[in-house]
Structure 1
Amino acid sequence: MKTVSCTLNTLLNDDVSLIEEQKSDVNRVLDFDLPLGEYDFLKKHVKKIGVTKEFSNVISTFKTPENETPEGFRVAYRLESNGILRADLIRDISYDKNGKKRPTNVLFSADSANPYEVKSISKIIANLTCNPGIIYDLFINNPKANIGNQFKTRDEVMEEIGRILGTGADISVELNDPFGKSDTELLEEAEKFREMLSEYRVVIKVPHTGPVTNVNVSELLLGNKKLGKSFADVTTEDAFRGHNLALMLQEHGFRVNFTLMFEPYQTALALQAKPYFVNSFIRHRLMQSESMELNLKQYNATGDPKFIKNIQDMFLEKDYLNMDQAQMELLMVKKMAEDMLKYRHFSDAEGSDGLDSVRHNLRLFKNTNLDDTRLIICSMEGEFNYPDIDKLLVEKEFEDLVYRVVVTAEPKYLARFTSCNQVVSYQRRFMNAANGQK
C-alpha cells in the first residue's frame, strides 16, 4: 500500500521549471507516480524537465490526445549532465495508456486476420499474429468471413486491423515467401509493413525453415506434397537460414517473431537470432504424443503389430519419417516412439499435460540476456490446452517469468474460456427473478 505519493509535479519549484517549448508534452506525465527513492535523488539534481525527441515522435505518430500517453508504451526518465530530466516513451505492450500496467503480467494475443473478429477482442489483446494462411485462406478467400468480399488484398486487411487495434498491440505479420525472394526483396516487403503499421507496432514473423529450401519447396506443392528427404537431413546453411534472416531483419531495425518451434531443443538456438518473440507450439505435439502412447499401450496389451503400424503411419503423415523410410522395421518405430515419449516426460507431471516444452522454455528464459524477448505459447485446441496453461502459469517456479509470456489462440478458442456452465444456471435464476418468475 502506498503511503507517500510523489510525481514530477512535486519536483517543480522556483529552481526547477519545464522546458517552455515542450510544456504540452511534459504535461502528459507530470502527474505520473514517481517512487519516493527516485524523487529524493532527482530533487537534488534536476533543473529543467522536458521530453526526448522519441517521446514527441510517438505522440505525433499516433496523434495522441492532450494530457495522455498512448497504449503500448511505458514512461522512462533520462537525467542529463546539465540537470535536464527528460521523459521518454519506450515500446512495451505490458502497458495501457497513461503509463498504467495491463491487468495481468501474462498477456494475450489473437491468431486472426479477420477485422470483424478482431474488433471484439481488440481491447483485450497486446499482440496479433497472422501468416499467409490466416490472411488468405481463413479470411480474404473465405466468403463467410470476408463479408461481401469487401477486402481484396493483404494490405487492405492489415491497414484495417491496424486501425482497429490502435497503438497498444503489436502486429506480427509474416513475409509471403521466405524462399523465393532475395534478402533485398524481403527487406523491401518488411519495410512496406513498417510504413503501414509504424516502427512501433510492426513485428516481422520469420519461420524456421529446416530442410526446406528454394530448390525443394516445390515438392510441398506437387504430387503427394512430401519432402523427398528427412527433416533431419539438412545442411548447416539451410538449417540456419531462418536464424540468419531474423538477424538480418533485426540489424535493419525490425523486431522479429521467430516461429515454428515445436520441440524445446529448438529454443536456445532460436534465441541466438535475438527475437522479440519466440514461439512454443503445443497442440500437435500433445495430440501426437497421445496417439503414440495409446497405440503403445494397445500393442503391449495385445501384441498386435497393427498398433505400431498406426504409429508408423502417423510418423509418415506428420513428417517424422520421409517416404524412403516407409519400410522401417516396426521394432525401430516402436523404440522411436518410446524414446520420444520419454524425452517429452509424457508419463510424469513434467509433461503429461503436453506442456514440458513450455516449462523448459521458461527455464531457458531465466538464463537469457534478451530482456525484452517474450515467449508466445501458441497452437491450442480442445478442452484442456488453455486451462492447463492457465494452471502452469501460477506454478511457484514460474511466478517471476509470467511477464515474459504471451498466450495466443484463435479468438473463438479464447472466447470459450470466458464462461462456464454455471453462468447459464445463474443467469436463468437472475432473469427469472427479474421477471417475477421462479
Structure 2
Amino acid sequence: MKKISCTLGSLLNDHVSLINNDISYTNRVLNFNLSLEQYDQLSKYVKTIGVTHRFTDVINRFKTPANETPPGFRVECGLEANGVLKADLVRDIAYDKNGKRRPTNVLFSADSANPYEILPVSKIVANLTCNPGIIYDLFINNPKANIGNQYKTRDEVMEEIGRIMGPGTDISVELNDPFGKSETEIIEEVEKFKEMLSEYRLVIKVPHTGPVTKDNVSQLLTGNKKLARSYQEVTTEGAFWGHNMALMLKEKGYRVNFTLMFEPYQTALAMQAKPYFINCFIRQRAMQSGIMDQCLKQYQATHNPKYIENIREMFLDKDYLTMDQAQTDLLTIKKMAEEMLSYRHYHDVEGSDGLDSVRHTLRVFKNSNLDESKLIICSMEGEFNYPDIDKLLVEKEFEDLVHRVIVTAEPKYLARFTSCNHVVSYQRRFMNAANGEK
C-alpha cells in the first residue's frame, strides 16, 4: 500500500485557519508534503498558518507567479507561540521551484560571464562563477564575445547575468582587488553586488593568496610579471589573508566561495574559513603531471638531459620555481618531479585519472563539521575529465557526499557531454525516415 499523503493544507479545519494577511502567500505552500507523523504532531498544536517575513520578501523580490515558490529555495515550517505555524523559504540551490528537489543530487555550474553563452544553460545550472579574468578577458574585452561592444562595464554584465539566471542560481563574484582595499572598501563593493543580485543569490569569491601580498602584488603586473618570492616562501599574515577575509565576510552574513585550491593539502586549512563553496581545480595540476611523467619516461629511455630541462622550463613557467632558481641542477629537478608524481598518485588508481585531489577533498568533507559547505569541482579539459568525474561520483565511498558536489565548467565544455556519435547516427535515420526515405 502506498504511503498516506498529507499536505500543509490537510491541517485546515474548523479550528485551524489561515492568517488573513498571509493568505495569498500561504496558498503557495498548502500542497507542501507532510509525513503522517508530522501531520499527527502538528494537528495537536496548530491554530493558524501563515508565512515568515522572509517568505514574502522572496516572493515579492523575484516577482514569483501566483501559486508558486521560486527555484533556489526549500520550504521549511516552524511552530511559533500560540499555535502559529509559519512557512519559510530557505536558500538552497538543490531545490527547483515549488520546493521540489532538482533532478540529481550532483549539481552543475557554469564558468562564464557571457550573457549570450549562459542563456541556454540558465535553467540547467545551480551556480554561476565569475572572476575578473572571465568578466574582462573572456567577455568585455573580447570583441568576438561582446558583440558590438554592447557591454562596457562589469556592473552592466552582472545586472544582465542576474536577469538571465533568475532566482534559482547562486552567482559567485570576485572582488577586483582583494589586496589593496580596506575592510570598509571591501564591504562597500560587496554591498553593491548585494543590491544588484540580492543577498539570496550573492556569493563572494575569495582567493587563496599564498606568497602574494599587498606589498608585492605589483610584481605580477609589471616587467616579466613574475613574483620574486617562491610560492613556498609565505608570511603567516600573507598566506592567511584570504582565510581571514573569508571569515570576516562570513561573520557579516555573506556566503563565501573560497577559491584557488589546487592541492588537496589546502583543504582542511581552507575549511577553517567556514566557506559555503570550496573549490578543487583539476586541469592545471593534471596536465602538468602528464608533462612531468612524459619527460621522465623519455629521459629514462634516452638519458638525454633535455627532457629534464623541459621539466625545469615548465617549473619556471608555472611558478614552481622563481627566476632566481632558473639554474637549479637537473638532479634536483628530476627528484622534484618524481616526488610530486608520487604524492599525486599519478601511477595508481587513486590518481591516474588526475582526480586524487577530488577524492582527498571529499574525504575531508566527510570528516568536517560544515554540513552546508559544498565542493565545486572545476577547471576541466579534454575528453575524459568530465567522464572520469562522473564515474568517481558513483563510487560507493562517496555516495553520501554527492549532494554536496557541484561540477563546474565552461558551458561549451558541459555541452559536449550531452552528445555522442550514436546521436548523429540515429538522427540521420530518424530524419530520413520522416522525410519519406526507406
TM-score between the two structures when normalised by the length of structure 1:
0.98
Q: CA deviation at 1:121?
A: 0.7
Which blocks of at least 5 consecutive residues in structure 1 are unaligned?
none
CA deviation after TM superposition for structure 1 residue 217, in Å: 1.0
* In 1, Cα distance between equivalents of 2:10 and 2:254: 38
Which residue in the other structure is 1:340 paired with?
340
Letter matched to residue 23 of structure 1:
I
Partner of 2:88: 88
* Alignment match, 1:420: 420
Q: How does 1:177-256 map to 2 (within 5 A)?
A: 177-256=177-256
SS of the aligned residue for 1:78 comes to: strand
Query: Which residue does the alignment assign to 2:125?
Result: 125
**1:285-364 → structure 2 map (5 Å cutoff):** 285-364=285-364
Aligned-partner Cα distance in 1 for 2:352–2:402: 21
Amino acid at match of 2:410: E
CA distance in 1, matches of 2:19, 2:43: 16
Secondary structure of the corresponding residue to residue 82 of structure 1: helix
Question: C-alpha offsets along residues 94-134 of structure 1, whole Å, 9 cap, x if unaligned?
Answer: 00100011100100110000101111110100000011111
Give, in angstroms, the shift of residue 81 of structure 1: 3.5
| Farther off after superposition, 121-130 or 327-336 | 327-336
Residue of structure 2 in register with 1:73 after alignment? 73
Moved over 4 A (4+): none
Match of 1:262 in 2: 262
**Which SS does the other structure have where 2:105 is aligned?**
coil
What secondary structure does 2:110 align onto? strand
How many Å separate the matches in 2 of 1:291 and 1:45? 67
Is 1:15 the counterpart of 2:41 in the alignment? no
Offset at residue 3 of structure 1 (A):
2.3
Q: Could you tell me which residue of structure 1 aligns to residue 411 of structure 2?
A: 411
Compute the displacement of 1:380 (Å).
Answer: 0.6
Tell me which amino acid in the other structure corresponds to 1:27. N
Aligned residues: 438
For 1:391, what is the secondary structure of its paired residue? helix
1:293 match: secondary structure: helix
Q: How far 1:323 sits from its partner (Å)?
A: 1.3
Q: Which amino acid aligns with 1:238?
A: G
Segments of 5+ residues of structure 2 without an aligned counterpart are: none
2:340 alignment partner, SS class = helix
How far apart in 2 are the matches of 1:305 and 1:149? 50
3-state DSSP of counterpart to 2:152: coil
Partner Cα separation in structure 2 for residue 411 and residue 4 of structure 1:
42
The yes-or-no answer on 1:99 pairing with 2:63 is: no
> Partner letter of residue 187 of structure 1?
I
Partners in 2 of 1:108 and 1:386 — Cα distance? 12
SS of 2:258's partner is: strand
Shift of 1:2: 4.6
Whole-Å separation in 2 of the counterparts to 1:143 and 1:303? 48
The alpha carbon displacement at 1:392 in A equals 0.5
Q: Return the alpha-carbon distance in structure 2 between the equivalents of residues 381 and 252 of structure 1.
A: 36
- Offset of 1:236 from its aligned partner? 0.1
For residues 21-78 of structure 1, the C-alpha deviation after alignment (integer angstroms, 9 at most, x for no partner) is 1111111100111122211211122111111111111112112121111110000111
Q: Distance in 2 between matches of 1:171 and 1:112?
A: 11
| Aligned match of 2:30 | 30
Cα distance in 1, alignment partners of residues 125 and 198 from structure 2: 18
The whole-number CA distance in structure 1 between the counterparts of 2:110 and 2:303 is: 45
Residue in structure 1 matched with residue 275 of structure 2 by the alignment: 275
Match in the other structure for 1:41 = 41
One-letter identity of the residue aligned with 2:242:
G
| SS of residue matched to 2:76 | strand
Query: Does structure 1 residue 137 correspond to structure 2 residue 155?
Result: no
Aligned-residue CA RMSD (Å): 1.0
2:219 maps to amino acid: E
| Cα-to-partner distance string for 1:131-189 (whole Å, 9 max, x where unaligned) | 11111111111111111111111101000010011100000011001112222111110
C-alpha distance in 1 between matches for 2:326 and 2:142: 36
SS at match of 2:331: helix
Q: Distance between the aligned counterparts of 2:188 and 2:167, measured in 1?
A: 23
For the residue of structure 1 that corresponds to 2:375, the secondary structure is: strand
- Counterpart position of 1:63: 63
**Equivalents in 2 of 1:7, 1:139: separation in Å?**
47
Aligned to 1:174: 174
Q: Percentage identity across aligned positions?
A: 76
The CA distance in 1 between the partners of 2:138 and 2:337, in whole Å, is 34
> What is the aligned partner in structure 1 of residue 115 from structure 2?
115
Task: Please list the CA deviations of residues 238-275 of structure 1 after superposition, one character each: whole Å capped at 9, or x if unmatched.
Answer: 00000011111111111111100000000111111111
SS in structure 1 opposite 2:33? coil
Q: What is the correspondence of 1:360-375 to structure 2 with a 5 Å cutoff?
A: 360-375=360-375
Instruction: Find the aligned partners of 2:133 and 2:26 in 1 and give their Cα distance.
Output: 44
* Paired position in structure 2 for 1:392: 392
